[in-house]
Amino acid sequence: MNIQQIFKGRFSKSFVLAVADAVMLISSFVMACALSGYPLARLFDTWLLLLPVAVAFQLLIFLRFGLYKAILRYASVDSIVIILKAVTASTFAVVLGLYVIQKQLPINVLLLYWLITICFIGGSRFVVRYYFDLRQRFQTGRRALIYGAGDMGSLALRQLYLNKALLYSPVGFIDDDKKKVGSVIRGVKVLGSLEDIENIVQRYKVEEVVVAIAEVESDKLRDVVKRCKTQGIVCRIIPCFSRLLEIEPDIRNVELEDLMRRTPRDLDKEAIGKYLYQKTILITGAAGSIGSEMVRQCLSYHPKVVIALDQSEYGLYALEEELTNANVRYVLCDVTNYSNLETIFAKYMPDIVFHAAAYKHVPLLEKNPVEGIRNNVTSTKNLCELSDKYKAKSFVMISTDKAVRPSSIMGATKRISELFVQNFDRRSETEYVSVRFGNVLGSSGSVVPKFINQIRKGGPVTVTHPEATRYFMLIDEAVQLVLQAGSIGKGGEIFILDMGKPVKIVDMAEDLIYLMGRQPYKDIDIQFSGMRAGEKIHEELFNDEIEEPTMFKEITIGRSQIVDWELLDKNVRELLSCTREESCQKLMSMIESLVPDGNFSHNMKTLRRDENVNIA
């Protein structure tokens, strides 16, 4: 190692700091002697040779305590504690050494030496910290306002100062707790509350608001985003404490998921654990958005094995690459193929079946009604019968709000499946339930990826109708509630998840444009394309069912609709046989007889124009 390498990088900084500490130790000793009246002549006579040895010994103790490994710009309360321990230990070691060689110093000299050394060693570290803080405080950059003057706010302030990609100049905090107004956090003042944000933005020329509140409610976040949007400024967020272990704790853009996320749900995880622990679980549609999330969440409850079943080869491959879990079996199978499906049941003997496989795209199934019916109804019938035959404990089917007074083939197939599951339960020891909910944000085929793609291309964003609304829920929240519903199901229920208030699609499009850094109708236009085949302006979660509460406020039970089983089974079989015939007129007649409250006028018009539409 040459001289240039020795005095390079951290080693050179530690060496300089050690030399500075040596100078401060000698100065502390001289000052302690002078202040206590110790004779200076005796000082130079007695301690001229001993003092360098004592200082070198103290530096070794400082090194042992890690004083030369710390990064001074991050000096904190922990640093004070370490310095206090190091100085005390080194001073005690010097006193002990003097006792051994029978050299003595007055107690007042030693006490003053100890105190002055703490001030010098500690003060030098915090002078460096203060220098960096001062330099950050006066840096010029984007003028940012932090919403939340708590622990998260302090963390956000540090992130703003340390952001290398974009320099920030924090102007202050706002907080809902008006008692904090006027207080100061690391030199930055709390300027007001959320109600004052417009005045503060204008007064301090704020360019960006950073939301820094642990577990911020989506309603509150929507309010902040709306206020920022009206002021024409950017809104960002720092992830909540509960997610800091999962993702990089850095400030990021607010996303649509943040606006839609609910407050943490009071789930009975113990009940879910008992339901899933050491069970063999079969999940159909496991490569899809809901199915794959169901696989992930089931694994956290330590099942015996999870059978991830899907007909998508690439989807299963991608899931296997992601999970790399030994407790998952990846099975390629078409759920409409009874014999192949029975082979899987006979091999694994599943305790619990989650049926998430289905064709879901409404306009596409309007153009392909036969395949929609064949896939969605046949798969449900096959799985119900095999779950009973191989004595599964529980069967849970994923349904949709489109099954309520359906106007589409997709909705009709799900309503028929609900009826089949509910009435099949009365004939089996297996507990059959359905779980009905609306759209899940970000799922395959969801409107959000479509909007994002349109915005990236420069628009326009196309919305079907200015008044169109939909129920939305995040995928992870929906799956949590599905697992909870399965754990409390006794058989025959249709569990209906609380989706909150319906969201106007045009409002969602406007929010998404703003969150992606553009201005709605200015940078990106929104156009109305008209309702597509089978779509409704407003979806519903309940038909004429009477809500029956459960122990969870997010889950209610729709009234059972018991029908004559022989007639239902005969009609379903006849419906499926119609998919193999050439007449779609008969197919629609069967659907209307099975779902009398549906509105299929569009389908009938289409089929009259072309009786042989998309017959496989």
Q: What is the pLDDT of residues 306-353, one digit of tens each?
A: 999 999 999 999 999 999 888 999 999 999 999 999 999 999 999 999
Would strands 305-310 and 328-332 be described as parallel, antiparallel, or unpaired? parallel
What per-residue confidence (pLDDT) applies to 138? Answer: 58
Q: DSSP code of 65?
A: T
In order, the DSSP letters of 382-444 are HHHHHHHHTT-SEEEEEEEGGGSS--SHHHHHHHHHHHHHHHHGGG-SSEEEEEEE-EEET-T
The one-letter code for the residue type at 522 is K
**Structural domains in the chain plus CATH codes:** 3-135 (no CATH), 139-254 (3.40.50.720), 269-608 (3.40.50.720)
| pLDDT at residue number 407 | 86
Residue that is written with structure tokens 């007074």 in the block = 405
Q: Mean of the pLDDT values across residues 46-65?
A: 76
Count each helix (H run) and each strand (E run) in the chain, helices first: 23, 22
- pLDDT average, residue stretch 46-52: 68
Active site residue 229: no
Peptide bond into 460 cis (omega under 30): yes
pLDDT of residue 508: 83
Lowest mean pLDDT among 120-134, 420-434, 469-483: 120-134
Res. 252: pLDDT tops 70: no
pLDDT band of 251, cuts 50, 70, 90: low
Residue 261 is predicted with a pLDDT of 65
CA of 544: how far to CAs of 428, 490, 499, 597, in Å?
Answer: 26, 22, 18, 10
Query: Mean pLDDT across the stretch 187-209?
Result: 89
Residue at token pair 């509150």: 220
From 348-352, 513-517, 569-573, the region with the lowest mean pLDDT: 513-517
In the chain, the percentage of residues whose pLDDT exceeds 90 is 28
**Three-state DSSP class for residue 2:** coil
Element housing 307 (H / E): strand 305-310
Residue 608 has what pLDDT?
A: 41
User: Out of 167-171, 444-448, 561-565, which region has the weakest mean confidence (pLDDT)?
Assistant: 444-448
Q: Predicted confidence band at 445 (pLDDT cuts at 50, 70, 90)?
A: low
User: Please, what is the end-to-end C-alpha distance for the chain in angstroms?
Assistant: 78
Identify the H or E element spanning 235. Answer: strand 234-237
Residue tagged active-site, from 229, 279, 381, 402: 402
Give how far Cα 231 sits from Cα of 19, 160, 204, 206, Å. 54, 21, 13, 10
* 467 pLDDT above the threshold of 90: no
pLDDT of 354-394, one tens digit each? Answer: 999 999 888 888 888 889 999 999 999 999 999 999 999 99
